[in-house]
Amino acid sequence: MRKLVSSIFLVFLTVALMLWTQGCANPGAGPDGGQKDSIPPVITNMVPQPYATNVSNNELIIGFDEYVVQDNLSAKMVISPPLANKPSIKMKGKSIHIKFTEDLIPNRTYSVDLKDGIKDYNEGNKIKSIRMLFSTYESIDTLRISGYLVDAFTLSPVKDAFATLYTLDVDSVFSTLRPDFIAKTDEKGFFLFDNLPEGAYKLYGLTDIDNNLMFSQASEKIAFIDSFLLPSARFIQASDTIFEENDTILAPGYVAYLPDDVYARIFEQESFRQYIIQSKRESRDHLFLTFNESLTDSFQYSLLNMDEASMATELEYSSNRDSLNIWLTDTMLILQDTLFLHLLYTGRDSLNQPIMVNDTLRMVYSSKTDKGKSKNKSAEETHENELFTFKSNITSNNFDLNKMIQLEAPSPVAVFDSTMLTFMKLLNDSVKEPVSFSFKVLENSNRKYIISYEPEEATRYQLVIDSGLVQTRSGIPNKVFDEVFKTQKADYYGTAIIDISGIEGQAILQLLQHSNNETIVAEQKVEPGTKTITFAYLRPASYRLKLIEDLNGNGRWDTGNLDQRQQPEPVYYYQNVLNVKSNWEIKENWMIESGKISVKAYEETKKNRE
């Protein structure tokens, strides 16, 4: 049966090659210049011939009907099975010579894909693709595996990545051995192995930064399929028949190759190699640090300028603990132009074993505004004359009805409570009415605050903090804060009601702006058993829906880990765009096939992003 499939396949390919060669005949430009040549070079001969068997010569030759040049061919060319060393490439007249520097593997079918790495000498017209196929024994292997490499978090296609196949079921080969077969993805993330012998294969994906075809750097993105892939092919006779007078003609069938829809989700594995990305002293009392990974609970810091200086500081982490603000609250520290910050945090050694890393940073304060001040004016006098300004999210017109008011001081404050605020509803130019509100400080922060109230639509409000009522820990008082704003009309908003099915465990449902930026407009947890999620107070706009299966229940998306055989948490995109209109309610039913990325869903998601 396999010989029948292979024979039919070779006949189809031979006929296709003949038609392609005839259709690409290049008439060239006329003797008087004439129309500009826009036709790519035509292949006139190949050595070895297409689908040749028992090939032992390690030099490939491709002849053309005109002079050609390379176009980054060495980087574009993909040879499978892969070679230990790159072949030499030479142009000789109207032909290209590719010479291997190593012996070919016995009993293998080779594919040499030149992509679009050849163009004509005069006009630069590229040949879209050149692919050679030959074997080192008496048969041509024609089994196939095809699929897509997609980003695990966005499902976007991953271009120019490698899909790799191994015959061994040991994950360590992905880091230690060259693969048995390779294929490169196109702009759609599509890959194709079409020269495989019978067997069982483990599939991996790789963004090969160091060009060694192995997972050897923490920054390389990877993918893996849990089970073996078994390629197969069978001839399917078409069921259509054509009746012509007394004759019955059966329509020709086709060869079906499986698997043909493998979706591998490529991800960056957490490396836990901690290091500092950025450190700066943004103001006299503010040190800012950014790390490449989230800091662990073992993180420690101290200032070397005085004993027990760390007691005169406050620490504020970012939400994912990969950056932190250190606020100085001691005046003696603040007035020093140079500070030495000692850090102790968890890192990894060259063997990826955890170690404690010691760092000492020199934090220097310099301000452009100081240059314009009197030379006789001391840093202490300058500090004492400063005033700070509260920041807020208030907009003067059309402040959203579902928004709480956020206030932020530039550094931690000593005392700040609701008695220092005046919050009024403006009935007219002269009549005001007190507003009932709640006031709280954000967790792990002494400078960020939330004001909650029951807003009325299309209503004017005023929020006031008198000058000097609030002071930072370092003694700097506030400027007056006086904001007048008007709320939005209720009928300006729309509502989206989403009925979800197919997900049994915890999940995170995100409402995104309809763009490629993945900007989150709103987010809600989907608890087990939840069927309906409502997004209210939506501005008229187009939105997309994204769902993350929160398998470990930590409230965020988690990447994969090859060593632990852990796939990234699945994500799904709703195929339709949500067009929200003012004073309108839309309802959508989303049936999710848990654990499956379908071809249709992928294509629709991609189309809706464009």
Q: Which of 43-47, 298-302, 454-458, 554-558 has the lowest mean pLDDT?
A: 298-302
Q: Which of 61-65, 105-109, 466-470, 604-608 has the lowest mean pLDDT?
A: 604-608
Asked if residue 588 lies in contact with residue 576, where contact means CB atoms within 8 angstroms, the answer is: yes
Average pLDDT, the chain: 86
CA distances from 566 to 167, 208, 270, 560, 562 (A): 21, 21, 12, 5, 6
Does position 146 have pLDDT exceeding 60, yes or no?
yes
Residue (of 36, 45, 32) closest to 125 by Cα position: 36
Asked if residue 410 lies in contact with residue 447, where contact means CB atoms within 8 angstroms, the answer is: yes
Scanning the structure block, which residue is given the tokens 């509260």? Answer: 390
What are all long-range contacts of 324-327, with beta carbons under 8 Å and residues at least 24 apart? 324/288, 324/289, 324/295, 325/286, 325/287, 325/288, 326/286, 326/287, 326/288, 326/289, 326/301, 327/285, 327/286, 327/287, 327/411, 327/412, 327/447, 327/473
Instruction: Identify the pLDDT of residue 593.
Output: 87
**For strand 460-465 and strand 422-426, is the pairing parallel, antiparallel, or unpaired?**
antiparallel
Distance CA 115, CA 98 (A): 14
Q: Averaged over 430-434, what is the pLDDT?
A: 94
Instruction: Identify the pLDDT of residue 238.
Output: 66
User: In terms of pLDDT, which residue wins out, 312 or 268?
Assistant: 268
Distance CA 412, CA 390 (A): 12
What pTM, to 2 d.p., does this model score? 0.80
493-609 has which fold?
A: Immunoglobulin-like (2.60.40)
Phi-psi region of 352 (alpha: psi -120 to 50; beta: other; left: phi over 0): left
Distance CA 554, CA 309 (A): 35
Does position 312 have pLDDT exceeding 80, yes or no?
no
Q: Averaged over 177-181, what is the pLDDT?
A: 96
Distance CA 102, CA 87 (A): 9
Domain 276-384, CATH 1.10.287 — does that match? Answer: no
Instruction: Identify the pLDDT of residue 298.
Output: 83
Return the number of other C-beta atoms located less than 10 Å from residue 182's C-beta.
Answer: 22
Does position 512 have pLDDT exceeding 90, yes or no?
yes
Query: CATH number of the domain at 143-246+256-268, out of 3.40.50.2000, 3.20.20.70, 1.20.1250.20, 2.60.40.1120?
Result: 2.60.40.1120
Distance CA 222, CA 204 (A): 7
Q: Averaged over 413-420, what is the pLDDT?
A: 94
What are the pLDDT digits (tens) for 136-145? 999 999 999 9
Instruction: Identify the pLDDT of residue 345.
Output: 85
Instruction: Identify the pLDDT of residue 543.
Output: 97
Q: Averaged over 124-146, what is the pLDDT?
A: 93
Q: Averaged over 322-336, what is the pLDDT?
A: 88
Query: CATH number of the domain at 2-135, out of 3.40.50.720, 3.40.440.10, 2.60.40.1220, 3.90.1150.10?
Result: 2.60.40.1220
Q: Averaged over 489-501, what is the pLDDT?
A: 97
At 14, the pLDDT band (50, 70, 90 cuts) reads very low
Instruction: Identify the pLDDT of residue 305.
Output: 63
Q: Averaged over 252-276, what is the pLDDT?
A: 86
Asked if residue 23 lies in contact with residue 40, where contact means CB atoms within 8 angstroms, the answer is: no
User: In terms of pLDDT, which residue wins out, 123 or 181?
Assistant: 181
Domain coordinates in residue numbering, the chain = 2-135, 143-246+256-268, 276-384, 391-491, 493-609
Query: Which residues have a Cβ under 8 Å from the Cβ of 58 and sit 6 or more positions away?
Result: 99, 100, 101, 102, 103, 104
Instruction: Identify the pLDDT of residue 1.
Output: 45
Q: Averaged over 216-221, what is the pLDDT?
A: 86
Does position 53 have pLDDT exceeding 60, yes or no?
yes
Asked if residue 187 lies in contact with residue 157, where contact means CB atoms within 8 angstroms, the answer is: yes
Domain 2-135 matches domain 493-609 at the CATH topology level = yes
Instruction: Identify the pLDDT of residue 17.
Output: 44
Does position 227 have pLDDT exceeding 70, yes or no?
yes
492: DSSP letter: G
Q: Averaged over 48-66, what is the pLDDT?
A: 95
pLDDT above 70 covers what percent of the chain? 84
Query: Which strands, in side-by-side order, build the sheet including 405-408?
Result: 391-392, 405-408, 448-453, 437-441
For 391-491, CATH gives 2.60.40.3780
